[in-house]
Amino acid sequence: STLSRWYDSLATLPNWHQPTLKLYGRSIVQQRPIAAFSKVPDLKLRYSGQEARMDPWPPVLEEMEDLVRDKVGREVRFNHAFLNLYEDGKVNIGKHSDNLENRVIVTLSLGAPRKWIMTRRHPPGAMAAAKRSGTKLPAPEVRSWTLENGSLLVMQGDVQKEWYHEVPKEGRIKEGRISVTFRQLVY
């Protein structure tokens, strides 16, 4: 199938690497291989506090982008793609939000189905106000669903400001997943 061909083409790209990240003053090799691609020469992206290595857009991404733009609107033009390789269910990405300078973020999920969780952020200042008043914040709203092979997930508007997202560990999953995240980076 097309999805299997795309997965295999991406999995064999030579661009995969595991960057060393600085977390709480320590250097840690990231557990997930990543690859980043740009259509714009000299486009910069900060990833976990450092500049991400950007490679030229490979042909397989052109084909995938064409399908994505058919779904989200031909007027949406992406200039960046970020790939995460989850080799099995032991590999995850913790709760986070992306940078706000992204206009539209569309993720195409290839391979094994994986859970996707979104947790609503408390409004700015809510935690400090609760602490001052001695009250407890209510539990945040949590939404969860499974991203199947070929699923498209679209995030835009205030999603990054209002929600965290994550792909949790799922030890029973033995197959790999590649997330291909297309972005309109503002530069």
Domain boundaries, the chain: 2-185
Span 160-179, average pLDDT = 96
Rounded Cα distance, 20 and 31, in Å: 10
Q: In angstroms, rounded to a whole number, what is the distance separating the alpha carbons of residues 150 and 104?
A: 18
Q: Per-residue pLDDT for 84 more than 90?
A: yes
The residue among 159, 163, 166 whose CA lies nearest residue 183 is 159
Residue 55 has a pLDDT of 92
Q: What is the pLDDT, as a whole number, of residue 101? A: 63
Binned at pLDDT 50, 70 and 90, residue 179 comes out as very high
Tell me, what's the pLDDT at 41?
A: 80
pLDDT above 80: residue 114:
yes
User: In CATH, which superfamily holds the domain spanning 2-185?
Assistant: Alpha-ketoglutarate-dependent dioxygenase AlkB-like (2.60.120.590)
pLDDT the model gives residue 187: 60
pLDDT at residue 100 tops 70: no
- The type of residue at 184 is Q
Rounded to whole angstroms, how far apart are CA atoms 123 and 162? 8
pTM value is 0.89
